[in-house]
Amino acid sequence: MPDASSAAVELRDVVKRFGDVVAVDHVSLRIAPGEFFALLGPSGSGKTTTLRMIGGFELPTEGEVLIEGEPQGYKPPYQRPVNTVFQNYALFPHMTVAQNIAFGLEMRGVPKEEIRRRVSEMLDLVRLSGYERRRPHQLSGGEQQRVALARALINRPKVLLLDEPLGALDLKLRKAMQLELKAIQEQVGITFIYVTHDQEEAITMANRIAVMNKGKVLQVGTPQEVYEQPQTFFVADFIGDTNFLPVQVMQVTAPVEVMTESGTRLTASWAEPTLRTGVKAVMAVRPERMHLYRPGSGPEGPEWNRVEGIIRQVIYKGLDIRYEVFVAGECSLHVRMPVGRSEGTFQRGEHVIVAWPRAAARVFRSES
């Protein structure tokens, strides 16, 4: 982690209340310069409110917001070294693309020649050269969003705040824009703080992700960390697909041991620290970490978990095959296997062994 002087944005124990509603609940974050940082969480988890407090559109009820080490206090948005891109891009409809992009510099009285040069740089950056005379209604949604981005970046903010900026685009365009936005961020090197409820989007774009729920930050980490080492049931459930097996805890210290409802012993690499022997819990395993074998084959030994099941459904997805496996007395497991494995494919109704390594299993308090 960078030291205090080098954080681009820091939140210190920030709380925001609206009457009785606690929108943001004791959030502390440190975002490094040049980071692409995502605030990820379901609707109502406090992402927008957090972003608005950084931008100066809301003031914290408690705690403080620092930008480049400087407490922002009551500073209004225009006195902060940040710019914001909202979901509804709010371009000026009567102005051309070039005029929209130039707007911030015009307001600050920047010389004409410099404005022309910087607008042209920005058009290059967002790949809209040749579009300068068009008006917003003559652009697609993706193009409008790129104009909004250029309009914000031309002011050379220290930090760019983006609130679900791709939310209005259709899926294919959104995917293309995710990669484009990330490339632009890497090119300009400005700190991006990006709000989204879409876990795939956060994983694709961000250097680090803060996972939020009910106003709290539950976990901060790289996409790989939050995906592979979730610290809570919520994070494991919210990010990616996960199998949850109901179990009872037998041993909480490593190697963690649990027992399924039908008495099969399983082992895990990690258990939530608050768990105690004897309590009910869930074992979480990603579908791609489970493997299918024919009865009598597959890996065995203390590092492996094995259960028997029957294939209930087979879905061919091109790159992989998704199996639903019914495990008697337990639950259904979802298994994802790449096409072209030596074991071949399995048919509905077949008896199989589902095996997964201890390293792929984590045990959580169940939230239900």
Residues at the interface with ligand ADP (CB under 6 A): 18, 21, 23, 41, 43-49
Q: Is 164 left (phi over 0), alpha (psi -120 to 50) or beta?
A: left
State the minimum distance, in angstroms, from the CB of residue 61 to ligand ADP: 12
What's at 224, amino acid-wise? Q
State the minimum distance, in angstroms, from the CB of residue 340 to ligand ADP: 41
Q: How many residues in the shown chain lie near Mg ion by CB under 5 A?
A: 1
Closer CB to Mg ion, 142 or 167, in the complex: 167
Closer CB to ligand ADP, 45 or 242, in the complex: 45
Residue 264 · residue 328 · CB < 8 Å:
no
Closer CB to ligand ADP, 41 or 104, in the complex: 41
Beta bridge partners, 311, equal 325
Closer CB to Mg ion, 51 or 321, in the complex: 51
State the minimum distance, in angstroms, from the CB of residue 84 to Mg ion: 13
Closer CB to ligand ADP, 58 or 257, in the complex: 58
Strands 320-327 and 331-338: antiparallel
Closer CB to ligand ADP, 21 or 279, in the complex: 21
User: What is the SS3 string spanning the chain?
Assistant: CCCHHHCCEEEEEEEEEECCEEEEEEEEEEECCCCEEEEECCCCCCHHHHHHHHHCCCCCCEEEEEECCEECCCCCHHHCCEEEECCCCCCCCCCCHHHHHHHHHHHCCCCHHHHHHHHHHHHHHCCCCCCCCCCHHHCCHHHHHHHHHHHHHCCCCCEEEEECCCCCCCHHHHHHHHHHHHHHHHHHCCEEEEEECCHHHHHHHCCEEEEEECCEEEEEECHHHHHHCCCCHHHHHHCCCCEEEEEEEEECCCCEEEEECCCCEEEECEECCCCCCCCEEEEEECHHHCEEECCCCCCCCCCEEEEEEEEEEEEECCCEEEEEEEECCCEEEEEEEECCCCCCCCCCCCEEEEEEEHHHCEEECCCC
Binding part of the chain for Mg ion, among 48-56, 167-175, 271-279, 283-291 by CB under 5 A, reads: 48-56
Binding part of the chain for Mg ion, among 6-14, 47-55, 177-185, 357-365 by CB under 5 A, reads: 47-55
Binding part of the chain for Mg ion, among 44-52, 205-213, 284-292, 320-328 by CB under 5 A, reads: 44-52
State the minimum distance, in angstroms, from the CB of residue 256 to ligand ADP: 33
Which among ligand ADP, Mg ion, none contacts residue 92 (Cβ within 5 to 8 A by kind)? none
Which among ligand ADP, Mg ion, none contacts residue 176 (Cβ within 5 to 8 A by kind)? none
State the minimum distance, in angstroms, from the CB of residue 227 to ligand ADP: 20
Which among ligand ADP, Mg ion, none contacts residue 208 (Cβ within 5 to 8 A by kind)? none
Q: What are phi and psi of 244, to 5 degrees?
A: -120, 115
Closer CB to ligand ADP, 27 or 154, in the complex: 27
Closer CB to ligand ADP, 18 or 316, in the complex: 18
Closest CA to 304 of 265, 346, 262, 275: 265
Which among ligand ADP, Mg ion, none contacts residue 336 (Cβ within 5 to 8 A by kind)? none
State the minimum distance, in angstroms, from the CB of residue 275 to Mg ion: 33
Residue 361 · residue 267 · CB < 8 Å:
yes
State the minimum distance, in angstroms, from the CB of residue 45 to ligand ADP: 4
Which among Mg ion, ligand ADP, none contacts residue 144 (Cβ within 5 to 8 A by kind)? none
Which of 27, 30, 48, 217 binds Mg ion (CB under 5 A)? It is 48
Closer CB to Mg ion, 48 or 83, in the complex: 48
State the minimum distance, in angstroms, from the CB of residue 49 to ligand ADP: 3
State the minimum distance, in angstroms, from the CB of residue 18 to ligand ADP: 3
Interface contacts to Mg ion, rule CB under 5 A: 48
